[in-house]
Every structure is written in structure tokens, then in C-alpha cells.
Amino acid sequence: MYAFVKKKPAKTETVRLNRLHWLGHVQRVEENRIRKKLLYMNLEATRPRGRPRNRWQDEVRKDGRLVVGKVWKERVYNREERKKLLKTARNHRILYVPIE
């Protein structure tokens, strides 16, 4: 008969899912914790010339919009809803971007 073959997620997809998972964890942490302070810390250093490199927050924002849309930041506060969203993204391969 037919065998169901489950594809392993691409490495980029795994990284994106883990980023969103970690962001949901840090969002629920109290304001005085070091990991939350580091996440929203603004460094006042000069940047090199040219196009600015993408920051971690920029990439997470883009991944969150792929999964949920513009309301993704409010939905990660609820732990069960975040788990459901990440599971849906993993099952439907929403974050899969083929490497060209």
C-alpha cells in the first residue's frame, strides 16, 4: 500500500519556528528579568555604512506575520494559543521557504 512519508522540516523552517517559540517564552516573562531586558535593549553604538543588517527582532516580526498576520504579537502571550499556532505552522509548512 501507500506509505506516508513525513518530510523533515528544512533547517531555515526549524530556526524560524524556534525563534517564534523563544519569543513567546520571553514575552511572558516579568519585565525585570535579564532575558527580557536584553531582548528590548537598544545599543547606542555606531553602525557601519551601507545597508543595515537585519536585526533579530526584524526577522521574528517577519516570521510572526507569516504565521498569524499583523496581530501575532498579541497572540503569543497566551501559551496554549502560541503552541497551537506553532503546531499549525509546522504541519502546514507555513514558514518553509525553498533555498534558490
Task: Quote the CA–CA distance of 19 and 75 in Å, as a whole number.
Answer: 15
What is the model's pLDDT at position 46?
A: 78
Task: Place 85 in a pLDDT band, splitting at 50, 70 and 90.
Answer: confident
Give the domain ranges of the chain.
11-39+54-92
Q: Model confidence over 50-63: pLDDT tens digits?
A: 887 788 888 888 88
State CA 34 to chain mean position distance: 20
- The yes-or-no verdict on residue 98 having pLDDT over 70 is no
Residue located via cell numbers 516580526: 61
Give just the sign of the alpha carbon dihedral 66, 53, 18, 14. Answer: positive
